[in-house]
């Protein structure tokens, strides 16, 4: 939890936070951006390297075409305008994990600009958050400060990551609360995941985020002095760090002091941010165009080819699913948490008799059990196909909701999918014709009105009788047999 700074709500009301986010996303190419080395995560240190990504003198970069396609696809998904000609530039700084002494990035002519995404607000409204730019760059290596036997004396360098393709996505300073920043990041990640250009795995560093935070008295046009919070490794911590930082800056202003422009780190154990370096020590990167690379040209034709690979994006998909399957916004939100899950759901829902029942089962029976076991929906023992099958069984009256719950419990206990458990455990079916006929007689006698309707030609009323028989037999009568006998007996006396 973020450390509470005991600010009163009234005090917070006086100020308006201004937040902008910079997100780095690693692209899922097989090889690096300027050489043929593998980008595989977790390889032994310094094994996926070559003269180019080691920054040896004379080695020349060759741009990975696939990385451009991925970057353009991400830019399109984020509603950016892709520049026909963008320029790679050298960003000069010294750091041990950057052997060349510069990072190849893009500066004044980035790949894409002027994008936006639209986040949902807690009041049900929506807000567009601008994306200033999206540019391509190479990742640096990694400094390893602990975990090795001589870590107390040395910092070790692993250059496997050096040259991994990145996109940096810079937002406009459009967010006004930590919650908006959280919503932006969540939707951003979801959108990128849908395009398939990154796995956005924060633990492995495939998605990293820095936050620029300032506050200003409400009504003031001019931005306050901002602090940059770096290297926060989860969305939850970013939200906490921003909340803490907003309160810290308000306290400084209330004390009549000035906020320092600086870079700060978030300590999640303490829930506080700490100063890392002030602006005076900040870098001047001396950008200049990279002389070893030609301008990058992505013409209209290539852009159109890439756009064809753009999938239906999460927001659009949710709206369509609500309309197509009669589910709620909340259902749609849960069911589109990943593209894979949404695909599975839609396949199941299209196959099932009642899509809404499939959604309900996911929300209630499935979600509750997953939560109890600490599993993500992707790890569920019951597949979406299994959910669809169970929904149909309940729908047809073949099993009761209670039996469904039991079967779900067994599936979770054994780690088995629904069809497997159902085949083994399915309720003993009553196949005794005489017994069923007797039940049918009673039902016919008890429902003369429906019998009349059926005999007058309303064939759909048969479903009512099937349901009654299933209810009377606790779902244990064999459905085909019930149908057959019902038709026969309803026809008698006609």
DSSP state of 477: B
Q: Which two tokens stand for residue 305?
A: 């080819």
> How would you classify the pairing of strands 262-267 and 227-232?
parallel
Nearer to Zn ion, 48 or 191 (CB): 48
Nearer to Zn ion, 35 or 211 (CB): 35
CB of 61 to Zn ion, least distance (A): 10
Nearer to Zn ion, 38 or 429 (CB): 38
- CB contact at 8 A, 420 and 452: no
Closest CA to 25 of 242, 170, 228: 170
CB of 31 to Zn ion, least distance (A): 8
Nearer to Zn ion, 53 or 181 (CB): 53
Closest CA to 408 of 416, 400, 398: 416
Q: Which two tokens stand for residue 288?
A: 């200049």
Number of other CB atoms surrounding residue 52 within 10 Å: 21
Buried b (16+ CB within 10 A) or exposed e, 56-95: eeeeebebbebbbbbbbbbbbbbbbebbeebbbbbbbeee
CB of 288 to Zn ion, least distance (A): 23
CB of 105 to Zn ion, least distance (A): 18
How far, in Å, are 43, 145, 146, 157 from residue 149 at the CA level?
Answer: 19, 11, 8, 14
Q: Which two tokens stand for residue 418?
A: 């629904």
Nearer to Zn ion, 35 or 250 (CB): 35
Identify the helix (H) or strand (E) that includes residue 264. Answer: strand 262-267
Tokens 């991925």, residue? 70
CB of 141 to Zn ion, least distance (A): 11
Nearer to Zn ion, 60 or 294 (CB): 60
Nearer to Zn ion, 138 or 392 (CB): 138
CB of 57 to Zn ion, least distance (A): 15
CB of 60 to Zn ion, least distance (A): 12
Binding site for Zn ion (CB under 5 A): 35, 37, 50, 52-53
Q: Which residues pair with 274 in a beta bridge?
A: 265
Sign of CA dihedral 468, 469, 472, 478: negative
Nearer to Zn ion, 159 or 334 (CB): 159
How far, in Å, are 19, 113, 267 from residue 262 at the CA level?
Answer: 15, 26, 16
CB of 56 to Zn ion, least distance (A): 10
């Amino acid at each position: 939890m973020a450390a509470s700074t005991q600010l009163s709500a009234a005090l917070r009301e006086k100020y308006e936070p201004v937040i902008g986010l910079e997100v780095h996303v690693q692209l899922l190419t097989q090889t690096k951006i300027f050489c043929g080395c593998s980008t595989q995560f977790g390889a032994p240190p310094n094994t996926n390297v070559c003269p180019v990504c080691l920054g040896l003198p004379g080695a020349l970069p060759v741009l990975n075409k696939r990385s451009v396609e991925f970057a353009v696809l991400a830019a399109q998904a984020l509603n950016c305008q892709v520049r026909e000609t963008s320029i790679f530039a050298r960003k000069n700084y010294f750091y041990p994990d950057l052997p060349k002494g510069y990072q190849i990035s893009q500066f004044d002519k980035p790949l894409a600009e002027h994008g936006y995404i639209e986040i949902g607000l807690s009041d049900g409204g929506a807000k567009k958050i601008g994306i200033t730019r999206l540019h391509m760059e190479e990742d640096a290596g990694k400094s390893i400060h602990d975990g090795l036997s001589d870590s107390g004396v040395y910092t070790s360098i692993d250059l496997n990551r050096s040259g991994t393709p990145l996109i940096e996505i810079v937002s406009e300073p459009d967010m006004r609360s930590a919650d908006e920043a959280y919503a932006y990041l969540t939707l951003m990640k979801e959108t990128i995941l849908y395009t398939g250009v990154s796995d956005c795995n924060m633990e492995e560093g495939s998605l990293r985020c820095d936050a620029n935070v300032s506050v200003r008295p409400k009504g003031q046009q001019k931005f306050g002095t901002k602090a940059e919070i770096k290297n926060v490794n989860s969305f939850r911590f970013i939200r906490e760090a921003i909340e803490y930082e907003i309160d810290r800056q308000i306290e400084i202003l209330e004390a009549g002091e000035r906020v320092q422009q600086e870079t700060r780190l978030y300590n999640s154990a303490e829930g506080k941010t700490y100063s890392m370096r002030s602006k005076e020590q900040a870098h001047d990167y001396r950008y200049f165009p990279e002389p070893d690379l030609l301008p990058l040209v992505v013409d209209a034709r290539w852009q159109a080819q890439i756009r064809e690979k753009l999938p239906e994006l999460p927001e659009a998909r949710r709206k369509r699913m609500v309309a197509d399957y009669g589910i709620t916004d909340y259902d749609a939100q849960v069911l589109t948490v990943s593209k894979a899950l949404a695909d599975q759901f839609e396949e199941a829902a299209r196959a099932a008799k009642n899509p809404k029942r499939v959604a309900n089962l996911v929300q209630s029976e499935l979600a509750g059990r997953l939560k109890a076991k600490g599993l993500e929906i992707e790890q569920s023992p019951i597949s979406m196909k299994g959910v669809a099958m169970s929904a149909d069984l309940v729908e047809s009256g073949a099993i009761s909701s209670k039996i469904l719950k039991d079967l779900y419990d067994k599936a979770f206990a054994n780690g088995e999918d629904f069809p497997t458990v159902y085949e083994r455990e399915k309720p003993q079916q009553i196949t005794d014709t005489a017994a069923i006929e007797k039940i049918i007689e009673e039902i016919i006698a008890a429902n003369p009105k429906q019998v009349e309707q059926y005999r007058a030609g309303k064939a759909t009323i048969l479903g009512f009788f099937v349901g009654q028989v299933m209810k009377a037999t606790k779902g244990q009568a064999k459905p085909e047999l019930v149908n057959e006998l019902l038709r026969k007996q309803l026809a008698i006396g006609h």
